[in-house]
């Protein structure tokens, strides 16, 4: 490991802000699509960060609760521009999705007629299947550098898709297997590592052997932890003091603060629990509302866990207390997003300096390499899950969705179109099909 450090600003801050804003508008398709977008912009095209550093950061984020793609943005933003870079990258990553879903929540409860919106999103969803397939290909061809790692990915996919093994167990098993292979047969896990990425362009601005300038220390950790906890819970304390401990706002703030620290394995792993509590215990919305909210969240930019904003909006709108229902919905949306995403910043900014210093630990790197390979299988499993729920309904094929998915795949893999252009074309196709009276849902 080199002793040299990266500067506070690897790239000009304004240029970084513009880039993160552009990325934030393309974060469709769940974590797979979002990681693919960052891979393309930051690793492949701009060469701001190397493939190994990108995967190392992703490995750490995969171990944390919360949306790993947003946490990866925070980590890379921190590497590029320090604290302010991490804050800007993480905030911009969720901002377009927050605005879009807030507007759609208002349309949903205010008008109840979302025919045009439904048709647009019905076109987006099949395109996302192609985006996820692209992510599996992009990440897989870089991470699966030996037959053993291909086996890790296949085993992870089978464990999740066939046997229903919990995601944390899959990650833990991959880490142990990676460590074991490094100890007993290191050639099986290191063969071909890194060669593909090295030939694809000029050296990245952040070298693989350079340490970040931000040094880990007990003082820094205490300051970050104290500031993070205050920022996390202060708004909730103000809401509880203002509206009462039993108000819908306090209930939502406490509930979603709890879910923020147990969302291992991505949003799907915790959404069943959220739906059960929100529908059956709190009666914030109906089961049908929850399903439609999930569809909206899947078709808007940002992390899928953003669906909790929709849940909160409807819950507060239906139980506003002394507030106007529209004001209640906005307040609940803001509070819920705050307690959901602030912990992500805390986890990354607290742990990243230590994770940086562990990149030279070969045993740990082998364990994380095993996790990276398993992540390919995890992404593939998510892609299959999404395809099944998008292209099929009740055991029958959705013809419109299948046609749009094929068109999107041709545009992405054949014509190499950008994700944003493909999503735009797909949305228009969905709208045309909906207005023509074809079944789009």
Per-residue pLDDT for the chain (441 aa), expressed as one digit of tens each?
Answer: 444 555 568 899 999 999 999 999 888 766 777 888 899 899 988 999 988 888 888 878 877 888 889 999 999 999 999 999 999 999 999 999 999 999 989 988 886 556 777 787 678 778 878 877 887 887 788 788 889 999 999 999 999 888 888 777 888 899 899 999 988 888 777 654 443 444 456 888 877 666 666 778 899 999 999 999 999 999 999 999 999 999 999 999 999 998 888 675 556 556 767 887 898 889 999 877 886 777 678 668 888 889 899 999 999 999 999 899 999 999 999 999 999 999 999 999 999 888 887 766 778 778 878 887 887 887 788 778 778 878 888 778 999 999 999 999 999 999 988 777 888 899 899 999 988 888 876
Residue 133 host element (H or E): helix 115-143
> Tokens 């807030």 belong to which residue?
102
CB 105, CB 308: distance < 8 Å:
no
CB 78, CB 355: distance < 8 Å:
no
Separation CA 253–CA 55 (nearest Å): 33
Task: Give one DSSP letter per residue of 154-186, joined into a string.
Answer: HHHHHHHHTS---HHHHHHHHHHHHHHHHHH-H
What Cα–Cα distance (Å) separates residue 240 from each residue in 112, 249, 253, 292? 31, 8, 9, 30
DSSP state of 322: T
What is the Cβ-side half-sphere exposure of residue 38, based on CA atoms within 13 angstroms?
32
Nearest C-alpha neighbor of 325 from the set 251, 250, 248: 248
Distance spanning both ends of the chain, measured CA to CA: 53
* Distance, CA of 357 to chain centre: 25
Separation CA 37–CA 138 (nearest Å): 10
Which residues 6+ apart lie within 8 Å of 73 measured at CB?
A: 20, 23, 38, 89, 90, 93
Nearest C-alpha neighbor of 28 from the set 386, 304, 223, 391: 304
* pTM as predicted: 0.72
Nearest C-alpha neighbor of 297 from the set 235, 344, 340, 255: 340
């Amino acid at each position: 490991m080199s002793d040299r450090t990266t500067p506070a600003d690897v790239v000009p801050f304004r240029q970084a802000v513009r880039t993160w804003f552009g990325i934030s508008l393309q974060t469709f398709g769940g974590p797979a699509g979002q990681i693919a977008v960052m891979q393309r912009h930051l690793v492949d095209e701009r060469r701001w960060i190397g493939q190994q550093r990108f995967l190392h950061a992703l490995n750490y984020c995969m171990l944390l609760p919360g949306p790993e793609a947003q946490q990866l943005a925070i980590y890379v933003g921190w590497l590029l521009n320090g604290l302010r870079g991490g804050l800007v990258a993480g905030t911009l990553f969720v901002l377009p999705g927050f605005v879009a879903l807030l507007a759609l929540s208002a349309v949903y409860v205010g008008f109840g007629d979302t025919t045009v919106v439904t048709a647009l999103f019905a076109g987006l969803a099949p395109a996302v299947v192609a985006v996820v397939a692209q992510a599996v290909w992009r990440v897989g061809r870089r991470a699966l550098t030996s037959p053993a790692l291909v086996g890790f990915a296949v085993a992870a996919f089978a464990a999740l898709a066939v046997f229903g093994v919990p995601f944390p167990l899959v990650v833990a098993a991959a880490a142990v297997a990676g460590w074991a292979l490094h100890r007993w047969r290191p050639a099986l896990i290191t063969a071909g590592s890194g060669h593909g990425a090295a030939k694809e362009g000029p050296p990245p601005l952040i070298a693989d052997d350079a340490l970040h300038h931000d040094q880990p220390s007990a003082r820094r950790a205490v300051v970050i932890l104290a500031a993070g906890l205050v920022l996390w819970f202060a708004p909730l304390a103000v809401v509880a003091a203002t509206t009462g401990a039993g108000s819908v706002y306090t209930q939502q703030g406490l509930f979603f603060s709890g879910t923020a620290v147990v969302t291992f394995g991505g949003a799907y792993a915790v959404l069943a629990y959220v739906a059960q509590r929100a529908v059956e215990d709190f009666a914030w919305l109906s089961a049908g509302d929850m399903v439609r909210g999930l569809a909206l969240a899947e078709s808007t930019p940002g992390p899928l866990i953003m669906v909790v904003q929709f849940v909160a909006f409807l819950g507060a709108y239906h139980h506003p207390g002394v507030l106007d229902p529209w004001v209640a919905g906005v307040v609940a949306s803001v509070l819920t997003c705050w307690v959901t995403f602030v912990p992500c910043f805390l986890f990354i900014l607290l742990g990243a300096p230590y994770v940086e210093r562990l990149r030279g630990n070969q045993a740990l790197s082998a364990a994380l390499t095993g996790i990276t390979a398993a992540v390919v299988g995890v992404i593939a499993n998510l892609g299959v899950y999404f395809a099944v729920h998008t292209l099929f309904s009740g055991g029958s094929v959705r013809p419109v969705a299948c046609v749009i998915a094929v068109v999107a795949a041709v545009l992405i893999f054949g014509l190499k179109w950008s994700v944003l252009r493909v999503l735009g074309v797909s949305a228009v196709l969905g709208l045309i099909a909906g207005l023509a009276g074809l079944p789009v849902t």
